[in-house]
Structure 1
Amino acid sequence: MVTLYDTLGVREDASDDEIKRAYRKAAMRAHPDRNKGREAAAHDAFQEIKQAYAILSDSEQRRVYDAVFAEEMGKLREQEERQARETRERAEREAQAERERYEKFVAQAMRYAERGHNRDVVFGVLLGRGCDEALAARIADGIAALAAARAQVPPAAPPDAPESETPQAEAAAHAGLFTTLWHGMFGLRS
């Protein structure tokens, strides 16, 4: 938004002398006699400069202009903040919806894997439910890896082995590692 101050090329806190000097300088630059071939555009610019100077050189008119300008700038700032907040909230809602959609696909894939279906069936089910191909492949691969890890049975430990070397302890360690990898791959948190 171009202000009267911008038209004269001065700051909002310019003194009367600075406004007067800026007016003379701008008027000389925009005067139609000094802009041969562009008289119409120069005339319009010259008139804007004259109007800006007429308001800013009168202390009462300048005070009123500053008050109105400050109010309008406040409204503009509020509008921009509201639009930014609405944009941010919309992005958060979209991100939440995307997370929920992703979690739904993972849950569906888990159900099919628990029923004994292989990676390709899980992949096909996800595609059939509207999942993006790359995401469906990632989820199906992760589910296949999870099923393969669960299917591995640890070997039996000798009877005199310490408790930390038992198959249950080893399986728990593998499960912890797998859980860490799973969460890292899919971004899930417990």
Structure 2
Amino acid sequence: MGLGPATQMAGPFFIRTPGVLRPGHFTIKPFSACYDRPQSQKHGEVEQAMATLYDTLGVPTHATDEEIKRAYRKAAMKWHPDRNSGAEDVARATFQEIKDAYAILSDAAQRKVYDAVYAEQMRSWEAQHARQRKSQAEREAASRAADEAAYAEMVSLAMRFADEGHNRDVLFGVLLGRRCEARRAAQIADSVSALQAARREPAKAEAEPVAADASESADSSVATEAAAAKDDAAAQASPGHRAHQDKREEPVGDTHPAGALSGLWFQFLNGLRL
């Protein structure tokens, strides 16, 4: 980058000796308490942010020289060891960080180099985090797919046993036997049992009118037959029917005496003709 030996560096963070920069190691670390910046969180994990020299002084990257100077004075006064009785070690370390940051940012040439290296490191850092987020998303998607497949398998198993007529407790036991987590097994057993009950209700409702119609038809037939039998019995018990029946059952000779004599007379006449 066209820097002299005293300004060669491995990252945007410099270890400074009076008047020069010497090589240091690039690190990613969370903001310390002195920066007054919150740590960001994503997916329940605390993400570390790159603490820059601008963060150390509490100014934006586009801050003017005057803004940097005012911020330095304010931070130096706040963290001077003499003003932090009982916490001198922490104050001394923080105060030194503030001095180092100001030494670089107050020098136009060193600030330009710092900004260039920082921009490059930020691109690398962002690319790394993008890869991490993508990998995390892929792992989560694979985990969800596996969980959904296992859930579908347990539901299918419960449905099969429910179709065979088994009740909710049997379904629950079968799912536990397949190492299904107890809470999920109870949820599946309850849902499948409720579904089967809902399916049976319409079939039962359709069957009841058919059975009622059949019963009503049978009752009507029995009533008709009983009425016919009653009418027949009443007709047979009437006097006219009895006289007709007696007349029909009498012998021919008893019923028609004149006819019998006529027959004998006809035989007698035939005998004379002979």
Range into which the TM-score falls when normalised by the shorter chain: 0.5 to 0.7
Q: Counterpart of 2:56?
A: 7
Which of 177, 193, 198 lines up with 1:144 in the alignment?
193
Write the distance in 1 (CA, Å) between the matches of 2:77 and 2:196: 82
CA offsets 1:8-63 (integer angstroms, 9 cap, x no match): 23221111222233333333444445555655444433332222122112212111
Q: CA RMSD in A?
A: 2.9
Any gaps of 5 or more consecutive residues in structure 2? 1-49, 214-274
Q: TM-score, normalised by structure 1?
A: 0.67
Paired residues for 1:91-106 under 5 Å = 91-106=140-155
Q: Percent identity?
A: 56
Structure 2 length as normaliser, TM-score? 0.49
Instruction: Tell me by how many angstroms 1:75 deviates.
Output: 2.4
- The higher-RCO structure (CA 8 Å, 6+ apart) is 1
Match of 1:71 in 2: 120
Alpha-carbon distance change, 135 to 31 in structure 1, aligned in 2, over 3 angstroms: closer
Please name the residue that 2:101 is paired with. 52
Structure 1 56/132 Cα, relative in aligned 2: closer, same or farther at 3 Å?
Answer: same
Equivalent-residue separation in structure 2 for 1:10 and 1:53 (angstroms): 11
Give the deviation of 1:118 after TM superposition. Answer: 3.4
Structure number, greater radius of gyration: 2
Would you say how many aligned residue pairs link Structure 1 and Structure 2? 158
For 2:59 and 2:191, how far apart are their aligned partners in 1?
Answer: 64
Q: What is the match of residue 20 of structure 2?
A: none
Extract unaligned runs of 5+ from structure 1: 159-190
TM superposition shift of 1:139: 2.6
Give the direction of change, closer, same or farther, for the CA distance of 1:26–1:137 in structure 2 (3 Å limit). Answer: closer
* Equivalent-residue separation in structure 2 for 1:74 and 1:46 (angstroms): 29
Secondary structure in structure 1 of the residue aligned to 2:158: helix
Report the structure, 1 or 2, having the larger helix content.
1
Q: Give 1 or 2: higher strand fraction.
A: 2
